[in-house]
Amino acid sequence: MREERELSTPPRRRVRAAVLFLSEDKDVLLVELRHQKVQTLPESGVRAGEGPQDALARLANSSLGLFIRPHQMLVHDVVMEPCLADSYEYVFFGGILNSSRVLIHDRTTLSRCLWVPQKELADRASPEHLNRILLALMALKLESCITLVNGQEQKGPCQDSEESITAEQAPD
């Protein structure tokens, strides 16, 4: 019976959002995840009914001690996998921070926060996140947004309606 219900219930759309912070010297803030030991942009899953900007504001407050509301979408990636619901991954610009500012981080999920010069990103960022970080930096420089499908750049505008990018309600 349980198996029938799982097969008949469509999978929930997965939405994740990351935030790009730069220092006044244009270094990139990366966080090291405690459970994975990878260095990446601060990121969060988007809860049901929540928009990506709301998820990032929650993450910045609870994990980094920052009160922000990211507003500029830099990257929109639609990841499609056979037999699974599409997932949507976003990168927003969080602003420029003073690199001497002490960031208070949530030690239950993050090992550390570090400022990485852009020329060292390839050596420091996790390979699966590096392309998205580099594209976000390019979009910021061009004052645009880049749309990806399965990590490949696409023509056309980024989806920017917060209502259309909220996580769906989880099935009962």
What does the pLDDT look like over 126-138, one tens digit per residue? 887 899 999 999 9
CATH assignment of 2-160, among 3.90.1150.10, 3.40.1160.10, 3.90.79.10, 3.80.10.10:
3.90.79.10
Sign (positive or negative) of CA dihedral 107, 109, 114, 115:
negative
- Tokens at residue 81, please? 């996998």
- Find where tokens 């993450």 sit: 59
- Tokens at residue 42, please? 């601060």
**Rounded Cα–Cα distance for residues 93 and 119 (Å):** 19
Domain boundaries along the sequence of the chain: 2-160
Beta strands in 1-107 (DSSP E): 14-23, 28-33, 39-40, 43-45, 72-79, 87-97
Read off the pLDDT of each residue in 54-67 and give the average, rounded to a whole number: 86
What does the pLDDT look like over 69-128, one tens digit per residue? 888 999 999 888 777 778 899 999 999 988 777 666 666 666 678 889 999 999 988 887
**12 neighbors 91 (Cβ within 8 angstroms):** no
Beta strands in 126-165 (DSSP E): 146-149, 152-154
- pTM of the entire predicted model: 0.80
